[in-house]
Amino acid sequence: MPRTEFASFSIPHLRILDERGGLDEALAPDLSPPELERLYRGMVWAREADQRMLRLQRQGRMGTFSPSTGQEAAACGPALALGERDWLVPAFRELGALLMRGVPLHRVLLFWGGFEEGNVYPGLDRTLPNAVIVGSQIPHAAGIGYALRLRGEKDAAVLCFFGDGATSEGDFHEGLNFAAVWKAPVVFVCQNNQWAISTPLAKQTAAASVAQKAVAYGMPGVRVDGNDPLAMYEATRAALARARAGEGPTLIEAATYRLMMHTTADDPTKYRGDEEVKAWEGRDPLVRLRLYLERRGHWDEARETALREEVKALIDAEVRRYESMKEFPIAAPFDNVYGTPHPNIAEQKEEFLRALEEDGRRG
């Protein structure tokens, strides 16, 4: 009996905008100048906010956080493709996507400052808070997508972010398998920034790409230049349209790079070299999009200066608001574990409050 080939596959790679701002006209998305400027503004806003948050953390005015510098295109490009009815399910390095979605920066600061209220976005539906537990949000996204199908919401889909480290977690495999079997309208975006804390990608997976893992679950997979905001927009737009049409999930691998530390609690010089970092600095997504806008006559130095001043003033106001909000219920985390009261949680809350009271008496 002859041996035959049962299956074969290939993974497409998408890149539209090169490092010098050169455009592949055949692949370019149909974006208007205001839409392009909104995308660039979101990326600049995220970069400036990230740098300000680092200073706040170093000054002891905020807790540990996960910087997103260098990954703005991978977060903001997909965010531009979202519709109002779509769900956003972030991990913890999608600052640009949250800001473009309309999340106020002071809520992000509250989250990293250790306040429960940083998980709440008043007036903003269909946007989940940061998920620090690696991969935990992936089954949530699959479940939300399945619920959209059951409810017959054909005008909505789910955009779910995670990092390359999450692809080694069981939640990744369970979430993708569930979504594919039930054709849940979910777009999975893996921000492959080459390092899972101090573990390089080569020790994270033996596969040639993260995107090819989609093949095992029966969904399309595409590898995208994650520092190309136009490619990230276009890949996500197409995947969201496919999801809303009832054709099921897609896995997008954004090949990008974390220019800073994993979180402000680690020192990246201990596990990677300067030469590698400098090579990726030359692929800065902000520079790439700005060069393109300038070539098209949509941008100049005066507009750049005005934008930077506007964003910095906005960040100043949000930091003042964050630092003025300190008086929150101290046991609030216990009130939001379940949607309805739970006796075990109530017992833990009482024990916590008793311990605080005893500490107070002891001085």
Which distant-in-sequence residues (6+ apart) come within 8 Å of 43 by Cβ? 72, 73, 76, 96, 229, 285, 286, 289
**What's the token pair of residue 324?**
């003025």
Q: How far is CA 100 from CA 81, 97, 265, in A?
A: 11, 5, 27
DSSP of 51-78, one letter per residue? HHHHHHHHTTSS------TT-HHHHHHH
Q: Are 210 and 222 in contact (CB under 8 A)?
A: no
To the query of whether residue 271 is one of the catalytic residues in this protein, the response is yes
Q: Are 140 and 146 in contact (CB under 8 A)?
A: no
To the query of whether residue 262 is one of the catalytic residues in this protein, the response is yes
DSSP of 221-283, one letter per residue? EEEEETT-HHHHHHHHHHHHHHHHTT---EEEEEE----S-SSTTS-GGGTS-HHHHHHHHTT
Give the integer Cα–Cα distance in Å for 39 and 128. 21
Catalytic residue among 47, 258, 288, 290: 258
Catalytic residue among 20, 55, 58, 271: 271
Give the integer Cα–Cα distance in Å for 217 and 210. 13
Catalytic residue among 262, 283, 288, 290: 262
To the query of whether residue 173 is one of the catalytic residues in this protein, the response is no
Q: Which residues pair with 143 in a beta bridge?
A: none
Closest alpha carbon to 35 in 256, 298, 284:
298
Catalytic residues: 258, 262, 271
